Structure 1
Amino acid sequence: MDDSFVVSPDWLAAHLEDAAVRVVDVRDAWEYDGIGHVPGAVNVPFDSYRDETDVDRGTLPGADAFADLLSDAGISPEDTVVAYDDTHGVFAARFVLTALEYGHDDVRLLDGDFSAWNRDHETTSDVPDVQSTGYEADPLERDDSPLVGLEAVENALERDAVFVDTREQDEFEEAHLPGAVRFDWREVVDDETRRLKPADELEALLAEHAITPDREIVLYCNTARRISHTYVVLRALGYETVAFYEGSLTEWLANDGEVVTGSSE
């Protein structure tokens, strides 16, 4: 597993004193304050970096708005950022994807979540003092971004791309893109440890669904939250040709895109 995308709790514990490593807790403020958090972590709640108005590239918050969040959190562009939540990493993965899209070079997902961290490492209720950094985002050029839109998805349907639907079975049966395979994002998580399954087990599991590194892969769900987790996992496993359909099924249906009902499994 590539630790430039995903880091273990032990890795984070060993780097907490490193001034260049900044930890971001994306849970709600009441959880961050009332339950406790990783020492030194700042709180950037999930709702604060998700735009529901569809003004700026789907549900992304916009480069300036995101830069303001990171600036207020005391984060600089050169920092190594590690994000976590308490929901197996799905909300934190959305933060990772957003930061990457807006040009932050080094942002990683904590393998597991707060509950996994809390099993072996200390927590605190102390809120760190931070100074605003004047962060400036540097969004990826369209050709460098994994995000794809409606036209690119339509074109990919004409090729041998693997469309991966990361939703639950009932959602998939109600409507999915033609030829899509269903791969519930939670399949990569070990329910007992709350961490990712071993890399070799993940690779075998993905291969069973024809999700292999040699294929062009297009991820979608409903509103691009769940695919964020799958995207980070695939990149950590070395997958390179992974497209991220930001509009997902919500945009597809709004534009009368063709869908299939029932199970293909």
Structure 2
Amino acid sequence: MTDFVSAEWVASRSDLRLVDVRDAWEYDGLGHLPGAVNVPFDSFRADEHAAEASDGDGSGMLPAEDDWADLLSTAGIDRESEIVAYDDHHGVFAARFLVTAELLGHDPERLHLLDGDFSSWQLERETSSETPDVEPTEYAVQRPASTPLVGPDEVAAAADDPDAVVVDTREDEEYDAGHIPGAVLLDWRDLVDDETRGLLAREAALSVLESAGILPEKRVVLYCNTARRISHTYVVLRHLGFERVDFYEGSLTEWEVQDRPLETN
């Protein structure tokens, strides 16, 4: 499963493909983890028109398979690569890269999110300004037989299911302005330690989740606006051992295009 790994673990390994999802100017101008390749967030983020055009199949804003395969091939990633992704924003953009990889068939056991980000890494560890030479691959997308993707009808049904909880991972103001009926609020940043820039300690994270009614025994259905913020929360929940975590890729962009109801506070 996609999980968090420490800087110490990353530094001790020489067999990882490190992926920096920051903008190219940050990667080049501010430095990066030694050996990391640059795959900027905007290069694999489909725009909102993708969700607007969705027919409810769950694809939402995932990139086209050929585009994704080309990106990974150019970055020297193959289907056996063990990947650690990072950014400089508490991992939320890097998490989107990893969840995209999982949904498009990369083995989740080989996908990891750096616990912390570039800023926390450079406080104690070496960075580099050299772009590594990589051998291009022929990455081939092989979608898995099943994924956590759900469509709007399943989300609406989950809101009425006592064994499920629909979770809005946006900010308070966004939630108050309009959310899926029955959804609870969990700002994704509530699971981040501002000092370490990484994940809260396990018991603290579980306490935050419990206070929002998000329990391991429940099925959890996540959404935000454009599937970026739920990517981080998805990785957190899977890392903490939650077994039933569903991912509404279309999120509110798709929900609102379909004129589905919203609740306001």
TM class by shorter-chain length?
A: over 0.9
CA distance in 1: counterparts of 2:197 and 2:23, whole angstroms: 20
- Over aligned residue pairs, what C-alpha RMSD do you find? 1.2
| Overall identity of the aligned pairs, in % | 56
Q: Establish whether residue 83 from structure 1 lines up as the match of residue 85 from structure 2.
A: yes
Q: Is the 8 A contact 2:168 2:175 kept in 1?
A: yes
Alignment TM-score, normalising by the size of structure 2: 0.93
- Aligned-pair CA distance for 1:102: 1.0
Secondary structure, in 3 states, of the residue corresponding to 2:232? helix
1 CA distance for matches of 2:156 and 2:209?
A: 24
Q: Tell me what 1:31 maps to.
A: 26
> Are the equivalent residues in 2 in contact too, given 1:63–1:139 (CA < 8 A)?
no
Q: 2:12 aligns with which of 14, 18, 23?
A: 14
CA distance in 2, matches of 1:251, 1:257: 9
Within 5 A, what are the aligned runs for 1:128-207? 128-141=132-145, 144-160=146-162, 161-207=164-210
Letter in 2 for 1:211: I
23-32 or 250-259: bigger deviation: 250-259
1:65-76 equivalences in 2 (<5 Å): 65-76=67-78
Runs of 5+ in structure 2 lacking a partner?
A: none
1:235 has 2:238 as partner: yes
2:44 corresponding residue in structure 1: 49
Given that 2:3 and 2:238 are in contact with CA atoms closer than 8 Å, whether structure 1 keeps it comes out as yes
Distance 1:180 1:58 in 2: 19
> Cα deviation per residue 1:162-218 (whole Å; 9 max; x = unaligned)?
111111111011001112111100011111111111111111111111101101111
Unpaired runs of 5+ in structure 1?
none
Instruction: Look up the equivalent residue of 1:207 and give its one-letter code.
Output: E
Q: How many residues align?
A: 255
What amino acid is aligned across from residue 186 of structure 2 in structure 1? Answer: F
8 Å CA contact 2:116–2:199 kept in 1: the answer is yes
The one-letter amino acid paired with 1:26 is V
Question: Aligned partners of 2:9, 2:89: CA distance in 1, in Å?
Answer: 20
Q: What do the CA deviations read for 1:51-79 (whole angstroms, capped 9, x no partner)?
A: 11416722111222111100000011111
Give the AA of the match of 2:232. H
Query: Following the alignment from structure 1 to structure 2, what is the Cα–Cα distance between the partners of residues 58 and 201?
Result: 32
Amino acid at match of 2:36: A
Q: Please give the alpha-carbon distance, in whole angstroms, between the structure 2 residues aligned to 1:175 and 1:38.
A: 40
Q: Which runs of 4+ in 1 moved over 3 A?
A: none
CA shift at 1:153, angstroms?
A: 1.4
Per the TM alignment, residue 157 of structure 1 is displaced from its structure 2 partner at its CA by 2.4
Q: Which amino acid aligns with 2:32?
A: H
Residues in 2 aligned to 1:234 and 1:120: alpha-carbon distance in whole angstroms: 28
Cα distance in structure 1, aligned partners of 2:154 and 2:167: 15
Q: Which residue of 2 aligns with 1:253?
A: 256
Structure 2: how far apart are the matches of 1:60 and 1:119?
34
TM-score computed with the length of structure 1 as normaliser: 0.93
